[in-house]
Amino acid sequence: MPELPEVETVRAGLSRSWIGRTIECVELRRAGLRFPFPENLDTELTGRRIEGIRRRAKYLQIDLDDGRVLLSHLGMSGRWTLDASTSEGKHDHVVLHLDDGSISVYNDARRFGVLDLYEGESHRLLDHLGPEPLGEWDAQQLHEKLNRRRSPVKIAILDQKVVVGVGNIYVCEALNRCGISPTRLACDITIEECGTLVIEIKKILAEAIQAGGSTLKDFAAVDGTLGYFPHQFKVYGKEGDPCDCGGTVERIPQGGRSTFWCPSCQT
DNA sequence: AGATATTCCTGGAGGC
DNA sequence: TGCCTCCAGGAATATC
């Protein structure tokens, strides 16, 4: 499941191949993914040159030469494959033919992804989003958001209005590094603890981007060979394993998903 | 407004 | 081997 670091690496990979290219032909193999595609998406994209690719939260914003933006979210299993040799895979939903003769394929088994076209600054999926964790994000901002929430801190951090891009894996890892129990109420997290959380979240995301950049310098994330980064997790998926502190990693359900944590050192 | 439940979807894992 | 059930999860959406 791509989290922010994965999306950032995909952005870098796509940028290298796509920027400056013109889309010559678009094949839509179905009418939509999570949401229906906008009307005539294929012809609207045809002839457009790609001028840049930005990222907001886990959304990719592909800037086109007519001022419009192609919005792409990978959902759980979405994947852009560049220089595809075939576009006949089982879940190949969208195919772009570029003016250098290459073929880019969007594949998404679970179809939680999004592909949309918009113009201007505003989009319904972007407008409500909270701060970027790797931007000017600090303890004060986090504390203000957590302050008025009575849900567990782990659930609150997953809320895109609190901070964007921190998914289930990295919130578990960050709380473990900070020694904070995922079951604590958000409003009980002190400003000092918010400071630690902000620092650790920034660090863990930056490390993951670094790992992606070095391990996947050939942009494996978008050439179809890899869905996960070979990243070392301390608690995520480690139920029953020993924690560094000597305790044992446990798994508990929170909001219908799994939280991995160590009750010995996270209090 | 905030909390909670539901929803989308398929592949993979475990049980028998 | 095969069938069945359950689970994973981002995040919008509806409901209370």
- Range in A64-68, A222-226, A245-249 with the lowest mean pLDDT: A222-226
Q: Which of the two residues, A229 and A66, has the higher pLDDT score?
A: A66
Question: pTM of the entire structure?
Answer: 0.91
CA of A93 to C1' of C14 (A): 29
pLDDT tens digit string along A176-207?
A: 999 999 999 999 999 999 999 999 999 999 98
Average pLDDT over residues A99-128: 91
Of all residues in chain A, the percent with pLDDT exceeding 70 is: 92
Q: Which of the two residues, A218 and A103, has the higher pLDDT score?
A: A103
pLDDT tens digit string along A3-31?
A: 888 888 889 889 999 999 999 999 999 99
Between helix A191-215 and helix A139-147 the angle, nearest 10°, is 120
**Edge-to-edge, what's the strand order for the sheet holding A50-56?**
A50-56, A59-64, A68-73, A114-119
pLDDT tens digit string along A121-155?
A: 889 999 999 999 999 999 999 999 999 899 999 99
> Is 80 exceeded by the pLDDT of residue A106?
yes
A146 touches strand B (CB under 7 A): no
**Edge-to-edge, what's the strand order for the sheet holding A23-28?**
A23-28, A92-98, A103-108, A78-81
As annotated, the active-site residues of A are 2-3, 58, 257
Looking at residue A186, its pLDDT comes to 95
A127 touches strand C (CB under 7 A): no
A156 touches strand B (CB under 7 A): yes
Looking at residue A227, its pLDDT comes to 36
pLDDT tens digit string along A35-71?
A: 999 999 999 999 999 999 999 999 999 999 999 999 9
